[in-house]
Structure 1
Amino acid sequence: MNRNNKEKSRPAYHQAYEVIRDRILNGDIPGGTKIVEEKLATDLGYSRTPIRESLRQLGYEGLIVNKKVVQPTEKDLRNLFQVRILLEGFSAQSAATYLPEEDLTTLSECINIGREGTINEIMEANERFHEIIVQASGNSIMIDTIDRMKSIIYLFRKTVVLHNRPRLNDEHEEIYEAIKARDGQAAELLMKNHLQADLDFCLHILSSSSHK
């Protein structure tokens, strides 16, 4: 089966969901935009049923709230990172105990891409780095919680990468070295500090843009 046939065989709502999600994440549909089902259906060439199902999923992920594209506030940002700091800190500790050697190699590759890749490659490598560590927790509820926040996390990850947050890759390397050394306590603390630095940086960018 070629790729086009595969695309056609996927449910219409899933195709519509991916198109709308990507347009929101890329900024083509800016934060604060009012979502009108009929207009989206016409613009994208889908019937209203798959559009409605797509919007329900995007609402579940937090990208659409009250029929508007989300514009995360400072409080939203703090709440999101509080959850991430708790869950990913625990995951880093677990990774130090349970992460297999092949995943350690992948973490190292992610760090190298983070230093030398294109913006898209860096975004993907950053996501993969955190994803591998979260999976190491072995806790399906924690993994699902982070997965549900993935789209909102992407928005903030983009801020961190595009604005070149200082020491981002150095911190990834420190976390990797602690996991490799099987030092769970250090890995947890380094991950928590890393995410706190992400939060502080995003808050700074948010504050700077609101004063322009």
Structure 2
Amino acid sequence: MFGSDDSRPAYHQSYEIIRDKILNGELPSGTKIVEEKVAKELGVSRTPIRESIRKLELEGLIANKRVVKPTETDLRNLFQVRILLEGYSALCAASYLKEEELDSLHKCVEIGKKGEVEEIMKANERFHEVIVQASHNPVMIDIIDRMQSIIYLFRRTVVNYNRPSLIDEHEKIYEAIKSRDGKEAEILMKNHLQADLDFCLHLIGNEKNNT
């Protein structure tokens, strides 16, 4: 089940597979997650499955061993936290990022312009990760880490549906950080994330109207 060239720990790969099944609807809301069954399906022991479930519980996708589907209110609340924390991280990034980290941000922007969907997904994730790490605040970094499944859900949506100006916004954030303009970087990041949220909520609203 796992990629032969993937050197990441089994629990990380298990986590991503289970997360993706939840987010794409293969494991719908209410589905009971049975460790032994999932371990057999993925060809691993129950230990990495147990660790994966624990992480997904922290992220709010599993509760009492059953799949939970985030509501619009959940998404709004989580993104309000993300806007605050990543806005502050962008402010910090303008002061603390080193040249190699700035280069990494620039590469992410370039991949966003020319890459395939999966490449853009990874570049998008890396772009935000570099900026969050710039906060040098382990509590903030941990909070964002617990939100990764919801962030992934939004990232997949904005990339698949080709949200207008997504990469342009990344480029402007990068330019502000490179120019060491922390206040501008903070404002741009907050506006960027708010645009992500608005775009996804608009799609959700359209889906409701069409059902």
Q: Structure 1 length as normaliser, TM-score?
A: 0.86
Report the counterpart of residue 193 of structure 1 in structure 2.
191
Task: Indicate if the aligned counterparts of 2:33 and 2:67 stay in contact, CA closer than 8 A.
Answer: no
Q: Deviations over 1:105-153 (max 9, x none)?
A: 1111101100110100000000000000001111111111111111221
- Equivalent pairs counted in the alignment come to 207
1:92 matched to 2:90: yes
- Give me the whole-angstrom Cα distance separating, in 1, the residues matched to 2:45 and 2:178: 51
Task: Identify which of 80, 83, 93 aligns with 1:82.
Answer: 80
Larger Rg computed on CA atoms: 1
- Give me the whole-angstrom Cα distance separating, in 2, the residues matched to 1:207 and 1:180: 37
Task: Identify which of 149, 152, 161 aligns with 2:150.
Answer: 152
- Give me the whole-angstrom Cα distance separating, in 2, the residues matched to 1:112 and 1:46: 37
1:126–1:46 distance in 2 versus 1, CA, 3 Å: closer
The 3-state SS of whatever aligns with 1:196 is helix
1:17–1:157 distance in 2 versus 1, CA, 3 Å: closer
Task: Identify which of 186, 208, 211 aligns with 2:209.
Answer: 211
After superposing on structure 2, the runs of 4+ consecutive aligned residues of structure 1 that deviate more than 6 Å are: none
- Mind listing any 5+ residue stretches in structure 2 that lack a counterpart? none
Task: Identify which of 17, 26, 30 aligns with 1:29.
Answer: 26
- Mind listing any 5+ residue stretches in structure 1 that lack a counterpart? none
Task: Quote the offset at 1:18 in angstroms.
Answer: 4.4
Give percent identity, aligned residues only: 64
- Give me the whole-angstrom Cα distance separating, in 1, the residues matched to 2:194 and 2:20: 27
The 3-state SS of whatever aligns with 1:75 is helix
Task: Identify which of 165, 168, 171 aligns with 1:170.
Answer: 168
Code of the residue aligned with 1:29 in structure 2: it is: E
Q: Structure 2 length as normaliser, TM-score?
A: 0.87
Task: Identify which of 43, 62, 65 aligns with 1:64.
Answer: 62
* Cα RMSD after superposing both structures: 2.5
Code of the residue aligned with 2:172 in structure 1: it is: E
Report the counterpart of residue 130 of structure 1 in structure 2.
128
